Amino acid sequence: MTSLTNKKILVTGGTGFIGGHLVDKLIKEGARVFIIDNLSSGRKENINPKAKFYKYDIRNPKVSHIFKKEKPEIVFHFAAHIEARESVKDPIHDAQINILGSLNILENCRKFKVKKIIFASSGGESYDDAKIIPTPESYPASPRSPYGVAKLAVEKYLDSYFKMYGIPFTVLRYGNVYGPRQNPFGGSGVVAIFTYKILNAKECVIHGSGKQTKDYIFIEDAMKATLAACKKNITGRLNIASGKETSVLEIFGKLKKITGFKGKIKHILLPTGVLKRGALSIKKAKKVIGWQPQYNLEEGLKKTVSWFKNRKS
């Protein structure tokens, strides 16, 4: 598959941060896009006017009516309960959305003969505190949080549906995606949270020492990888990240330099389930889909700060 022109594509979670950017890119590619989203964490302003929008929870049995009406060829399943720390507090709620909701989508993909599924998984939560960093896709997945467990469960269901029904799939194990339009009011997304607080002269809070590391990938790079993966006839898992580990303190320091922020940070206790180190190997993505990041961290952060500044004004 090389062209997405006139392809009928469903994006679940298409009003969210990543999903909203994805819908915009797909429409620019000439695809006919429709969205299923309950707006629990997404935003109406992220809805592309050229996309059809259905306000449904992915657990709703009526989702089948949308599949029957629209007959998607490709499904990007990006809807999820996205808060890993919240999943520790309420794993049942997390599983109801991320496992049972996903199964509802997969069953409709089977019934209505979808040609390909692209699933947004979590590279940051998949590998626990891995002994190999950057961590390749071949490293045993052993998630710590219920959120990570649910993501891995859906990956296993995709394996099952491929073996039983022949539905091709690509799992994208994203690093920590950041950039314009990210929600600064959730429990995750440290770049957006810091940027909003810095620009509004609010106190910045860091969990633990701040030396814990993650792999940060700018949204534009993540989207190029996502489209490249969609256009290739591949089944399996791909890490989509920068291949580098960056600490929370480094993120704060870079944002402080970019903005000229003079305020201080407050350290609080590290929540249960937070990993100490993380970075993802992107060698497979480079080889299989011919992709590698174009933005370094400073460039991505500057673009993010600029967007938040414009939004504030």
Q: Are 123 and 177 in contact (CB under 8 A)?
A: no
- With a cut of 70, list the residues of the chain below it in pLDDT: 1, 312-313
The pLDDT of residue 188: 79
Phi/psi for 91 (5° steps) reads: -65, -25
Q: What is the C-alpha separation between 226 and 84, in angstroms, rounded? A: 22
**Residue from 185, 181, 166 nearest 235 by CA:** 166
Q: Are 116 and 234 in contact (CB under 8 A)?
A: no
Domain(s) labelled CATH 3.40.50.720 in the chain stretch across 8-177+217-241+280-288
Q: What is the C-alpha separation between 243 and 51, in angstroms, rounded? A: 33
**139's tokens:** 């490293």
Place of tokens 């320091």: 253
The pLDDT of residue 242: 98
Place of tokens 């993909």: 109
Domain(s) labelled CATH 3.90.25.10 in the chain stretch across 181-213+245-278+297-312
Q: Are 234 and 289 in contact (CB under 8 A)?
A: yes
CATH fold, domain 181-213+245-278+297-312, is UDP-galactose 4-epimerase; domain 1 (3.90.25)
Q: What is the C-alpha separation between 60 and 73, in angstroms, rounded? A: 21
Q: What is the C-alpha separation between 102 and 6, in angstroms, rounded? A: 26
Which of the 8 DSSP states describes residue 140? Answer: P
The pLDDT of residue 1: 57
Cβ contacts of 262 within 8 Å, gap of 6 or more: none
Which CATH code for domain 8-177+217-241+280-288? 3.40.50.720
Identify any residues that bridge with 33 across adjacent strands, giving them in sequence order.
9
Cβ contacts of 133 within 8 Å, gap of 6 or more: 245, 277, 278, 279
**52-55 and 32-37 strand pairing:** parallel
Q: What is the set of active-site residues? A: 147
Which of the 8 DSSP states describes residue 77? Answer: E
Query: What global pTM score does this model have?
Result: 0.96
